[in-house]
C-alpha cells in the first residue's frame, strides 16, 4: 500500500497571518516520518470566490474555474490536517468557504486539526469536526492545540519565539495526530477504492 498523502491546509489568508509558522513546523514534523507524505495546501494559492454555484459539488459540477482547481487539489489527498485559527469562536470564513467549494474530494477521508489561539482554537476545532461530518469526512480523535502561554510565546503579538520553544509541549499530540491520520487513511483508502471499483 502506498503511503497516505496528507495535506496541511492553511486556513487563514490575511497578509499578516501567523499560520505560516505552525504550518512550516508541522510540515517539518511530518517529513520526519516514513509512514506518510505531507504537503502544504494554502488557500492563498486558490483565490476562491465566495460560493455562488447552483448547488454543491455533491450535486453538480461547479462553474468556477478556481473552485474546480481547488476540487482537483483536494481530491489528490488521502487525509487532511487543517491549520485552524479561531475567529470569534469558530473557523475562519475563508476556510468555511473552501470546505463548501468542494465535496467529492473530502468524502470518506480522515481529518484532524492544528488549532491555535487562547484556548488552542478548541471551539473552532469542534465546529470543524461537525462540518466535516456533513461532508462525509472522518474526524479523528487526536488534534494539536497551541494554547494560552504557549501560543503567546510564539505569536508575533507576544514573544514571537521560534516554534522550537513549544515543540516539547506539542510533541505528544503531533505524534498522536499523525498516528491517527495514518491509521484512518490506511483503513479508508482501500475501502474508497473498493467502492469506486464496484460502481465502475
Ligand X SMILES: Cc1cc2nc3c(=O)[nH]c(=O)nc-3n(C[C@H](O)[C@H](O)[C@H](O)COP(=O)(O)O)c2cc1C
Footprint of ligand X (CB under 6 A): 12, 14, 17-19, 85-89, 117-118
Shortest spacing between CB 28 and ligand X, in angstroms: 18
Check: CB of residue 144 under 8 Å from CB of residue 174: yes
Cβ closer to ligand X: 5 or 127? 127
Half-sphere exposure of 172 (CA within 13 A, CB side): 1
Cβ closer to ligand X: 156 or 190? 156
Cβ closer to ligand X: 109 or 145? 145
Shortest spacing between CB 116 and ligand X, in angstroms: 6
* Residue 178 burial class via C-beta count within 10 angstroms: exposed 0-12, middle 13-18, buried 19 and up: buried
* Residue 144 burial class via C-beta count within 10 angstroms: exposed 0-12, middle 13-18, buried 19 and up: buried
CA–CA distance, 131 with 135 (Å, rounded to integer): 7
Shortest spacing between CB 45 and ligand X, in angstroms: 16
Shortest spacing between CB 158 and ligand X, in angstroms: 10
Check: CB of residue 143 under 8 Å from CB of residue 151: no
Cβ closer to ligand X: 118 or 172? 118
Cβ closer to ligand X: 76 or 118? 118
Q: Which residue is nearest to ligand X (CB)?
A: 117
The answer for residues whose C-beta is within 8 angstroms of residue 158's C-beta and 6 or more apart is 151, 152
Shortest spacing between CB 117 and ligand X, in angstroms: 3
Amino acid at each position: 500500500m502506498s503511503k497516505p498523502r496528507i495535506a496541511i491546509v492553511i486556513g487563514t489568508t490575511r497578509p499578516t497571518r501567523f499560520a505560516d509558522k505552525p504550518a512550516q513546523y508541522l510540515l517539518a514534523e511530518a517529513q520526519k516520518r516514513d509512514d506518510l507524505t505531507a504537503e502544504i495546501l494554502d488557500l492563498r494559492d486558490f483565490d476562491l470566490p465566495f460560493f455562488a454555484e447552483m448547488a454543491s459539488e455533491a450535486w453538480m459540477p461547479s462553474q468556477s474555474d478556481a473552485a474546480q482547481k481547488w476540487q482537483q487539489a483536494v481530491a489528490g489527498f488521502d487525509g487532511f490536517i487543517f491549520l485552524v485559527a479561531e475567529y470569534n469562536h469558530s473557523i475562519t470564513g475563508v476556510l468555511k468557504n473552501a470546505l463548501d467549494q468542494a465535496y467529492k474530494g473530502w468524502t470518506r477521508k480522515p481529518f484532524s486539526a492544528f488549532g491555535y489561539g487562547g484556548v488552542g482554537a478548541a471551539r473552532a476545532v469542534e465546529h470543524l469536526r461537525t462540518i466535516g461530518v456533513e461532508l462525509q469526512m472522518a474526524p479523528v480523535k487526536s488534534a494539536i492545540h497551541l494554547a494560552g502561554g504557549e501560543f503567546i510565546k510564539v505569536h508575533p503579538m507576544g514573544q514571537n519565539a521560534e516554534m522550537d520553544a513549544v515543540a516539547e509541549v506539542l510533541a505528544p499530540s503531533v505524534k498522536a495526530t499523525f498516528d491517527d491520520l495514518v491509521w484512518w487513511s490506511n483503513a479508508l483508502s482501500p475501502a474508497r477504492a473498493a467502492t469506486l471499483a464496484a460502481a465502475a
